[in-house]
Amino acid sequence: MARKSTSHVQSAPGHGSRFSLWIYVHLQQLRLTMREIWHTPLTSLMTIGVIGVSLALPAALMVILKNAESVTAEWQNGTQITLYLQKGTSDAEIQALQARIQQNAQVASVRYISPEQGMSEFKALSGFSDAQAYLSDNPLPPVLEVKPRQAFHSTQESEQLLRSLKQESAVQQAKLDIQWVTRLNGIIALARQLVHLLAGFLVIGLMLTVANTLRLYIFNRRAEIEVMKLVGATDGFIQRPFMYLGFWYGAVGGLVAWWLSEVLLLLSERAVTYLAELYDSNFRLVGLGSADGGLLILLGVSLSMGAAWFSVHKHLREIEPQ
Query: Which stretch of 136-140, 150-154, 209-213, 244-248 has the lowest confidence by average pLDDT?
Result: 150-154
Stretch 155-168: mean pLDDT, rounded? 78
CA distance 53 to 20: 38
Is residue 15 scored above 60 in pLDDT?
A: no
Q: Is residue 10 part of a domain?
A: no
- What secondary structure does DSSP assign to 144-200, as a single string? EEEEE-GGG-SHHHHHHHHHHHHTSTTEEEEEETTHHHHHHHHHHHHHHHHHHHHHH
Residue 19: the pLDDT is 64
Buried-exposed string 55-76: b where 16+ CB fall within 10 A, e elsewhere: bbbbbbbbbbeebbeeebeebb
Residue 158: the pLDDT is 74
Is residue 4 scored above 50 in pLDDT?
A: no
Same domain, 164 and 203: no
C-beta separation of 126 from 113 below 8 A = no
Q: Any idea of the CA torsion for 239, 244, 249, 255, to the nearest 10 degrees? A: 160
Same domain, 63 and 190: yes
Is residue 14 scored above 60 in pLDDT?
A: no
Q: Which phi and psi angles does 111 have, rounded to 5°?
A: -115, 130
Q: Pick the last residue of a domain from 139, 155, 177.
A: 177
C-beta separation of 49 from 256 below 8 A = yes
Q: Is residue 137 part of a domain?
A: yes
Is residue 140 scored above 50 in pLDDT?
A: yes
Stretch 172-182: mean pLDDT, rounded? 73
Same domain, 192 and 310: yes
Is residue 126 scored above 60 in pLDDT?
A: no
How does the average pLDDT of the chain come out, rounded?
75
Q: Is residue 22 part of a domain?
A: no
Residue 10: the pLDDT is 45
pTM of the model: 0.60
Is residue 262 exposed (0-12), middle (13-18) or buried (19+ Cβ within 10 Å)? middle
Q: Which phi and psi angles does 32 have, rounded to 5°?
A: -70, -40
Stretch 300-320: mean pLDDT, rounded? 80
Residue 9: the pLDDT is 43
Residue 72: the pLDDT is 66
Same domain, 210 and 270: yes
Residue 77: the pLDDT is 55
Per the structure, how many domains does the chain have?
2
Q: Pick the last residue of a domain from 177, 194, 209.
A: 177
Strand order in the sheet with 81-85: 107-113, 143-148, 81-85, 171-176
CA distance 237 to 227: 13
pLDDT tens for 183-209 read: 777 777 888 888 888 888 888 888 888
pLDDT tens for 65-93 read: 777 777 666 555 557 788 888 887 888 88
CA distance 226 to 320: 6
Give the range of the structural domain holding residue 187, as residue numbers without chain letter.
32-74+183-316
Q: Is residue 144 part of a domain?
A: yes
Q: Is residue 16 part of a domain?
A: no
Is residue 121 scored above 50 in pLDDT?
A: yes
Stretch 149-175: mean pLDDT, rounded? 76
Q: In terms of DSSP H, where are the helices of the chain? A: 2-11, 15-39, 41-77, 91-102, 115-126, 155-166, 179-220, 222-230, 235-278, 289-316
End-to-end CA distance of the chain: 46
Q: Which of 26, 33, 32, 25 is nearest to 214 (CA)?
A: 33
Same domain, 230 and 279: yes
Residue 316: the pLDDT is 72
Residue 38: the pLDDT is 72
Taking the CA atoms of 223, 51, 43 and 30 in sequence, report the sign of the dihedral they define. Answer: negative
Same domain, 195 and 53: yes
Give bridge partners of residue 111 from the DSSP assignment. 145
